[in-house]
Amino acid sequence: MDGVDNNLLINFLKNIITDIETQKLSDDELKIVSEFYMRYKFNSESIDNTTSNEDFIKFLALGWYVYSYIEKT
């Protein structure tokens, strides 16, 4: 990957892991990390092209449900 030092990225991710383990992240920060995780998983599965259309629809529906109902409570 151009422009990003791998060691910098590794240290950044290790710090996030430590902050999660020690519960130092605010709810907003944890939400951002969770969104990053879901985006990463979605992109990696899309590249593998192993996700069926039915699974894709379930994934989108779950995301919509979480966004629409859980986020607002």
Over the stretch 35-64, which tens digit does the pLDDT of each residue have? 899 888 878 876 556 667 787 788 788 887
Taking a C-beta distance cutoff of 8 angstroms, is the pair 45, 51 a contact? Answer: yes
Q: What is the pLDDT of residue 47?
A: 59
61 vs 6, residue with greater confidence: 6
- CA dihedral angle for residue 40, residue 46, residue 48, residue 53, rounded to 10 degrees: 140
In the chain, % of residues over pLDDT 70: 84
Q: What is the pLDDT of residue 49?
A: 61
Whole-angstrom distance, CA of residue 32 vs CA of residue 27: 9
Q: Residue 17 pLDDT more than 60? A: yes
What distance in Å separates the CA atoms of residue 37 and residue 8, rounded to the nearest whole number? 18
Select from 4, 24, 1, 2 the least CA-distant residue to 12. 4
